[in-house]
Amino acid sequence: MIELDIDASGAIATITLNRPPANAWSLDGLRQLKATVEKLNADQRVRAIIVTGQGPKFFSAGADLNVMADGDKAVARDVAQRFGEAFATLQEARAVVIAAINGYAMGGGLECALSCDVRIAERHAQMALPEPSVGLLPAGCGTQTLPWLVGEGWAKRMILTNERVDADTALRIGLVEEVVDTGAALAKATEMAQRVTTLSPEGVAYSKQLIHAARQGVPRHAALSIEREKFVDLFDSPNQREGVNAFLEKRKPNWTTP
């Protein structure tokens, strides 16, 4: 299900969800996603990861419900664990993760996008967390991550009343950061990923950790203290000197990987 492509520079990786016809998640696909992100975490050259779906219609339709048709609680526990582990790994990836939402992102498909740092949706995309309509609930970060992005009210509208949102509504409520024409999400995500590669590796990595601190319940006073310490920690790397001197010398910085 997971296809991985890394550009010639080694800096931008693209993960494509490819399981026709709707790119629905299987347990094996979730294991593949977790393993792929862990592999990319270990490759310091990788600065940005793009996640997209194969085909013109689906980013991902979510979980393969055939797995849960028998009502087996042991299977349910395995499914919840696989979704949780895969999307937690994606959410905490070292690199910047950009979702190129090329179509329907439903249930676990939307939760995958929620686990990315930035979301770009094509104009025809539709997004929903319809799990309660089939006797389930979002178990891959949906109930916890969606309210951070859109607020409790819209999270409740989407989960508790099965409201589906289109791309323009998603942009208005903060569910996605940009809407592009049909077929343009991957190119826009690649453009954004290329911008990431122009920045300090440590500066980006530390900043991502700090942004996530509030979501993880770190009190503001403590987080501000960590922010100052991380600023000082940047001076352990030659990239700090390279970045400042490149600016003063009016040239592009030549970053080194940690």
Q: Do 239 and 255 touch, CB atoms closer than 8 A?
A: yes
Strand order in the sheet with 165-166: 58-60, 104-106, 126-128, 165-166
> 84 is written with which tokens?
């949780």
Residue type at 195 in one-letter notation: R
Cα atoms in the 13 Å half-sphere on the side-chain side of 51 = 32
Strand partners, 121: 101, 179
Q: In angstroms, rounded to a whole number, what is the distance separating the alpha carbons of residues 84 and 91? A: 10
Q: In angstroms, rounded to a whole number, what is the distance separating the alpha carbons of residues 205 and 207? A: 5
Q: In angstroms, rounded to a whole number, what is the distance separating the alpha carbons of residues 235 and 247? A: 16
Kindly give the pairing relationship between strand 126-128 and strand 165-166: antiparallel
Q: Do 150 and 119 touch, CB atoms closer than 8 A?
A: no
Cα atoms in the 13 Å half-sphere on the side-chain side of 252 = 7
Q: Which residue has the tokens 């991380």?
A: 230
> What is the set of active-site residues?
111, 131
